[in-house]
Structure 1
Amino acid sequence: MVTSPALPAKQLIPNTTIVKVHASTRPEYCPQCNSPFFIKSNKDANCNKCNKSFIASKSKKHSNWNRQLQQTQEAFQNNQFPLLIATKGYGMGIDKRNIRFIIHHALASSLEAYYQEAGRAGRDSKHSHVALMYLPPHQECKEKHIYAGELEPPCVSNGQHYIRHYCKYYKNHLCDYGLQAHFIKDDYRGIEKDTNRVIKIYRHLESKETITFKNDQADNKQQISLYRLQQLGVVKEYSKHYSKGFSGWYEVDYNADWSIKEIANKLK
């Protein structure tokens, strides 16, 4: 997200006075070379820079990250620097009206999410720009796998490729199609767990309890469950409110008059 109309060419290099980072998960680093570029797989990790393997729990972690997040958020809100590299969680419930550019480096989770995230630009009604950077699948991958009807590209279906985020066509990186396939496999752990989460949220609603979240990870799981219930007609609408940092609660319009017949019709 960028607030200034343009940056001089000489400033198009990393500069912590004009570019800062905002992410809910604190950075971790390889204990061998201090690189942040490593891949976790269960309890193990492999560094993309030095190619060393190590126990994932032994990675170096950034100290006082929550405090730095708060300072970064306040500084950006007060126009103390012009460019923020952020995860999608930034901006929800934060009314910063003079954002001139929003550039997505990867696909949003849905069209609805993209519409919401892009809508953070130009809230002051002044001309603003939104761009999406997209890397399509390799032509050979499309012809051999995607057009052939395979549910997962080889960077996901192949166990070793999946662990190392490896594409046998692009070699050094994944396309956006492959990244989305990874996110889906990482986030969706099966119908049983998904159903149990939905039932848990439903019981909170039935008991008239407030649904709260402490971080982005918990929020994403709860939002998916609310969306499932909305699709079934059990929830009419819901909105998210932030209290501090990445914690907050949901305001939910619960349909107490739902029926099995209505749900059955929704599932047809």
Structure 2
Amino acid sequence: MRLARHGTAGTESPLISGADGVWRDLRPVVIDLTPDTLPTVLDGVDVDALPVVESPGRFGPPLTGIGKIACIGLNYRQHAAETGAAVPDEPIVFLKTPDTVVGPDDEVLIPRLSLKTDYEVELAVVIGREARYLPDEAAAAACVAGYTISNDVSEREFQLERGGQWDKGKNCETFNPLGPWLLTADEVPDPQALGLRLSVNGEPRQDGDTSDMIFGVHHLIRYLSHFMVLRPGDVINTGTPAGVALGRPGLPYLRAGDVVDVEIDGLGRQRQIFGQA
């Protein structure tokens, strides 16, 4: 199944699409897709009995009311190499606030005084059941609701040159476009076999594969569950492949007016026009 939300920002309505690819109105089942209603939808819905939505409007984030976003840094071998960083022995973890989340095609704002706003295509995992001290990766796999696309937008000067933790460069407003839809876990037999691509103004910048991850999706869920409780609706941004501006001296950072296209196999596409805060 594909799960999504469409409509104007803040008033989105839930959608579902089954094997026929037709979008249908999910409101007869749940008012919206939230951490509370997600388990109900995952338990099973008679998709064919729902009203057809002929022309969905703007896609918003596929879930509202997200509790937390756990992010993984330097999780692709080629990305670590391009930045001159050692391959980490354990996952590098930081948090992104849920209020950074916007729709997949919404405007992203470059912060005031920013000179190094960067892009990061990432596979995002949405948790479907509580994950707490998981014993192994099989238990972790059972906790996945599905997968979607995240652009983990980052301001590198704020992140790396202003002291303290990475959070300053990761939590600027609009810095986490998410969607367009959530593809349920049963539709993704191997999350370590997905291509990820990103371009800026039509120029390819990132072209990677989740097989290059240092720590795989299920390893990350098990690992994180020993440091925090993961609950339905929580999101994990699993890291970005090579090709970011940070890793390529001379490659320009993002400026107002730039158009960023983001794509992951089976998960759809995003397009953001960058503006100025």
TM-score where L is the length of structure 1: 0.27
Q: Which has the larger radius of gyration?
A: 1
**More strand per residue:** 2
Higher relative CO (Cα under 8 Å, sequence separation at least 6) belongs to 2
